[in-house]
Amino acid sequence: MKEIFEDIEFQLGEFGLHSQLSEEKKSTLPKILKEIHKYNVFGSDLLAVPAELIISGDDQEYERPFSFLDLDEGFVNFENEFRSEVPIDFIPMGYLYGASEIVLYNNLNNSIHIFHVSDIVDQDRMKYKLDNPTCTFKDFISQIRLQTVTCLLHPKDYSKATLIELRKNKIYLDYEFLASKSEDIWEVYLDKCRSQIADGMEIHYAPQNVIQKLQQ
């Protein structure tokens, strides 16, 4: 795991932040989660996991933006809002899509479980999510990568959405790979984003480095 996080930290560069979790709260975490907080891998719009990791065979869907939980407030909110339905051996580890899906670490079987915040009102669905792991902790950590997906929405019609991802060194746009003769694939990516913005679309979420370059 050390090598994985050192590599992620290196790739993130100046964008990766140090954990803001208090030492008191860190002391309550399992050792395997404490280790994560040694690295500058925290912050929003930085990391992602492939959709196929969450739903087997779903290789056409876009990667899921992911962030590690590193605020005491986040743990307090989890305890207040969800602990009544979630056994104590499940520990919040992070979020997908900002905070709409919560990633849990199961301390008993070393597994990862993911539920949507709306699942809390459906006991059967919540039980299914807790009884059935998404994957092992090792598999989840090994699949974490730098976020490349950008989502743009029309400000007056959210049904109009464009998703752009860099996958296998190719542009993946609206579920199709685009052919490009340019050697600078990131510049092609940014041009696609600029074109969408010029057409009236607005960024819903995007990697921090993409937002920075689009603002230049």
CA–CA separation, 82 and 102 (whole Å): 10
Q: What pLDDT score was predicted for residue 137?
A: 98
Provide the sign of the torsion angle of the four alpha carbons 54, 60, 62, 63, taken in this order: positive
Please, what are the domains in the chain? 2-145 (3.40.1580), 148-214 (no CATH)
Q: What pLDDT score was predicted for residue 168?
A: 85
Q: What pLDDT score was predicted for residue 64?
A: 96
Q: What pLDDT score was predicted for residue 98?
A: 80
Q: What pLDDT score was predicted for residue 180?
A: 76
Q: Which has the closest alpha carbon to 114: 126, 125, 123, 101?
A: 101
CA–CA separation, 55 and 50 (whole Å): 9
Task: Please identify every stretch of the chain with a pLDDT value under 50, giving residue numbers as ranges.
Answer: none
The residue to which tokens 């779903």 are assigned: 58
* Contact assessment for residue 92 and residue 99, using Cβ atoms and an 8 Å cutoff: no
Q: What pLDDT score was predicted for residue 169?
A: 87
The pair phi, psi for residue 45, each rounded to 5°, is: 55, 45
Instruction: Give tens-digit pLDDT for 35-49.
Output: 999 999 999 999 999
CA–CA separation, 26 and 130 (whole Å): 24
Q: Which residues pair with 177 in a beta bridge?
A: 172
